[in-house]
A and B are shown apart, each in its own frame.
Chain A
Amino acid sequence: GAGVSQSPRYKVAKRGQDVALRCDPISGHVSLFWYQQALGQGPEFLTYFQNEAQLDKSGLPSDRFFAERPEGSVSTLKIQRTQQEDSAVYLCASSLGWGQGSTNEKLFFGSGTQLSVL
Chain B
Amino acid sequence: GESVGLHLPTLSVQEGDNSIINCAYSNSASDYFIWYKQESGKGPQFIIDIRSNMDKRQGQRVTVLLNKTVKHLSLQIAATQPGDSAVYFCAVLQGGPGTYKYIFGTGTRLKVLA
Contacts and interface: CB of A to CB of B under 8 A. Distances in A.
Contact of A58 (B46, B89, B99): B99
Interface string B85-105: 000010101011011111111
Given A31-B100, A110-B43, A42 B31 contact: no
Contact of A42 (B46, B95, B106): B106
A62 interface: no
Contacts of A93: 43
Contacts of B41: 111
B61 interface: no
Interface string A90-118: 01010000111000011111111000000
Interface string A27-39: 0000101010000
A108 B43 CA distance: 9
Contacts of B96: 100
B14 interface: no
A42 B105 contact: yes
B43 A111 contact: yes
B45 interface: yes
Contacts of A91: 43-44
Contact of B32 (A6, A31, A100): A100
Interface string B1-32: 00010000000000000000000000000011
Interface of A: 4, 6, 31, 33, 35, 40-45, 48, 50, 55-56, 58-59, 91, 93, 98-100, 105-112
- Which 4 residue pairs spanning A and B have beta carbons closest together? A100-B95, A42-B104, A109-B43, A45-B101
Interface of B: 4, 31-32, 34, 36, 41-46, 49, 89, 91, 93, 95-96, 98-107
